[in-house]
Chain A
Amino acid sequence: MSQKAKARAIVQERYEFQTVLALSPDGLAAACARAAEGATIRMGGSTTPVKIKIGDDGTFSGVYAIKGVGHLLTIMQFVVVGVKAPDNQMMVKLTVGDFLFKKGSLGMKPTINAGKIMQKFVDVLRAELAAG
């Protein structure tokens, strides 16, 4: 298994999720905005929205980027998508796109850059979604 594949597996296990809940696209947008606001580390990086789109058909898609200090380097990109599900519910899915990582040496696991910021975003978003 290559280092890239190992890093991808870690990202999928720790950060990506999918859930179905009763929520409006505006509610999901507000939850994502609050999570992005909280997902920041002083002198470490911050989460910034790249493209937010609320469709007329009740869908939501938000592309976010975790940028390093000075907003020069994009460390990770991820997308939160909300699509309509049966029974007036919404299926919310978080998928991570490109990301930077450090190779693990001597059999150690790779380290995901900005993993702590991403964990904060996921934890706050999950709490926001669960709180409704």
Chain B
Amino acid sequence: MGTFVVLLLMVAGYWVYRFVVKSIRAATGAAVDAAAKGVSLAYDAHKQRQSSVMWFAPGAGSASALHDHLTARAADLGAHDFSLDLVERRGRQVVRCTIAPGVDAEALRANLLRAARESDPSCALLLP
């Protein structure tokens, strides 16, 4: 009788232990998932607030001609959304475009590239 009770207690103890461990693991996992999601959202928001940059490298033409052309077209493309300047990158002159925070970079990239191709069909878009 005594042996049976001890065995029963051991089995019951094992199941209680298993339940407790599983509960702790589930709670910890959920907490870590929530924290990771929070960090990810905060990072995305931080990236949104940052201004992004891209460069246009001239092909056949010169960088200054490309810069002049894009500056002339800036009003049509939304002059408040970006700024242009002539810089040197990896040993060659390129046009740097700084996109203001919160602006849809993907649409602006395509529009600026289209405008740049009018002046220099072989110009290349470079991203950081």
Contacts and interface: CB of A to CB of B under 8 A. Distances in A.
A127 interface: yes
B21 interface: no
Pick the most buried of B29, B33, B110, B111: most chain A CB atoms within 10 A of its CB. B110
B120 to A, nearest CB: 13
Contacts, number: 43
A15 to B, nearest CB: 14
Interface string B95-128: 0000000000011011101100100000011110
A119 B41 CA distance: 19
The binding surface of chain A is classed by DSSP as helix
A108 interface: yes
Contacts of B117: 131
Interface in A81-132: 106-109, 120, 123-124, 126-128, 130-132
B36 interface: yes
B9 interface: no
A105 to B, nearest CB: 10
B125 A38 contact: yes
B36 A34 contact: no
Which 9 residue pairs across A and B have the least CB separation, nearest first?
A: A130-B110, A107-B32, A131-B113, A131-B114, A127-B109, A107-B33, A127-B110, A120-B127, A131-B110
